[in-house]
Amino acid sequence: MKKSLFYFFALFVPFFLFELASCQNCDSTYTYTAPVQIDDQLEVASLGEVGIDTNLIEKGIRKIQCGSFNAVHSVLIYKNGKLVLEEYFPGYKYQWDAPDYKGELVQWNKEMIHPNMSVTKSYISALIGIAIEKGFISQVEEPIFNYLSEYDEYRKDGKEKITIEHLLTMSSGLAWNEWGAAHGTSANDIDRLYFDCSDNPIPCVLERPLVHEPGTFFTYNGGGTVMLGKIIENASGMQLDSFANEYLFHPLGIDTVAWFRYNDGTFAADGSSYCKPRDMVKIGRLFLQNGTWNGESILPQNWVTKSFTAYRNNKDIKIPIEDSGKNDYGYSWWLTKHKHQGKFISFARANGWGGQTIFVSPELETVIVFTSGNYAYNSKLFKIANKYLLPAIQ
């Protein structure tokens, strides 16, 4: 017992003292300034002009600068039609083959594109909604093989029942291990597409056995979103990036989006897009405004409703290595509730590995965007939001 206590104090007390000293020695003197107005279709204002407590926001930013919430790269707040907070921090670029995925150390800024990771899934969902609205796809309940005829050999064993809606809601029923296996290995099914199946990734998804009746069970499956990207291409006759630019990004004034493609040209639609944090705000604003942009309908309103509504049994889901608690899942958007001024407020969230997030709260008329580098560490974005950002909003 005494030996155990000795080792406890020897190992953990110095660590505690180091952490305490780090907090005490942090000399952040951050003072808020309003975002700069640029020609990007986002109007700016100050926090005070939209009723947000500047002092509380400053405290939160100082905590970020002191490293209290791991690797945060940016935080932006859009409130009442105005961008009112835009802050960037130093951090490492994502590099998949580096220790802890840490590439070059940079000072992030508004002109730099950032990996969106699985936030991309929410973009793909919007593109499916647009493809239906434009008549390229007849309906969300349509079987996926109606648009994947080149893979008809897999249209059997119950897989013929999988619909587009099932892919959007992670309920295809296909066996898939993306959350239970380490990244960087072929044991992780999404990484297997990159390592072993880059020459033809779609069959590597469709060959997986059907283990649940489609539509009945949630299993996080990025491979399903890769297939959604291929469905958009086959239905429209356009490459995915061209379709996205014409019908989603360019109408919002988003002109710098990068994608990764597998060796056969298939887009890694599950999580490979890069864009600027301000452009992530625009996607949030589009959903906040029920699919309209400057008076023009870009996305059907009913698609926004479906995105922000839990699908069947997609409830009480815990996401690995983040502090979001229990979540529901709609059309490729996560759904949570947060306490605000004594009552619970609904949030929809486009969410990506490492701490990439677009929070949308219609009740608060607010969009909050984070980019981060917590690929090997727990993301603590909800602590920031719940302790500093949401309490500051009136």
Indicate the CATH number of 111-320 among 3.90.950.10, 3.40.50.300, 3.40.710.10, 3.40.50.261: 3.40.710.10
327 touches 336 (CB < 8 A): yes
User: Does residue 11 carry a pLDDT above 60?
Assistant: no
Q: How far apart are CA 77 and CA 368, in angstroms?
A: 5
β-pairing verdict for 102-107 and 90-94: antiparallel
Greater confidence (215 vs 2) lies with 215
User: Does residue 7 carry a pLDDT above 60?
Assistant: no
Q: Which two tokens stand for residue 193?
A: 């597409």
Mean pLDDT of the chain: 93
Q: How far apart are CA 255 and CA 244, in angstroms?
A: 11
199 touches 263 (CB < 8 A): yes
Q: How far apart are CA 182 and CA 341, in angstroms?
A: 39
Does the global pTM surpass 0.85?
A: yes
- Three-class SS of residue 393? strand
Q: How far apart are CA 80 and CA 364, in angstroms?
A: 8
Which among 114, 137, 149 has a CA at the least distance from the CA of 235?
137
For residue 265, the model assigns a pLDDT of 97
Q: How far apart are CA 346 and CA 358, in angstroms?
A: 14
pLDDT in tens, 49-78: 999 999 999 999 999 999 999 999 999 999
Q: Which two tokens stand for residue 223?
A: 């491979």
Where do the domains of the chain lie? 27-75+83-108+371-394, 111-320
**Rounded average pLDDT over 376-393:** 94
Using CA atoms in the order 43, 47, 49, 55, what is the torsion angle rounded to 10 degrees? -170
For residue 390, the model assigns a pLDDT of 95
270 touches 225 (CB < 8 A): yes
Which among 248, 253, 350, 252 has a CA at the least distance from the CA of 293?
252
pLDDT in tens, 322-352: 898 999 999 999 999 888 888 899 999 999 9
**Rounded average pLDDT over 147-151:** 97
**Rounded average pLDDT over 243-272:** 97
For residue 25, the model assigns a pLDDT of 58
Which among 285, 381, 368 has a CA at the least distance from the CA of 52?
368
Q: Which two tokens stand for residue 141?
A: 């309940």
Q: Which two tokens stand for residue 281?
A: 């705000």
**Rounded average pLDDT over 32-47:** 97
**Rounded average pLDDT over 348-375:** 97
For residue 27, the model assigns a pLDDT of 79
Greater confidence (208 vs 4) lies with 208
Using CA atoms in the order 192, 379, 28, 13, what is the torsion angle rounded to 10 degrees? -100
User: Does residue 95 carry a pLDDT above 70?
Assistant: yes
Q: How far apart are CA 232 and CA 240, in angstroms?
A: 7
Q: How far apart are CA 285 and CA 262, in angstroms?
A: 31
pLDDT in tens, 101-131: 999 999 999 999 999 999 999 999 999 999 9
For residue 28, the model assigns a pLDDT of 84
For residue 16, the model assigns a pLDDT of 38
**Rounded average pLDDT over 284-288:** 98
**Rounded average pLDDT over 366-375:** 97
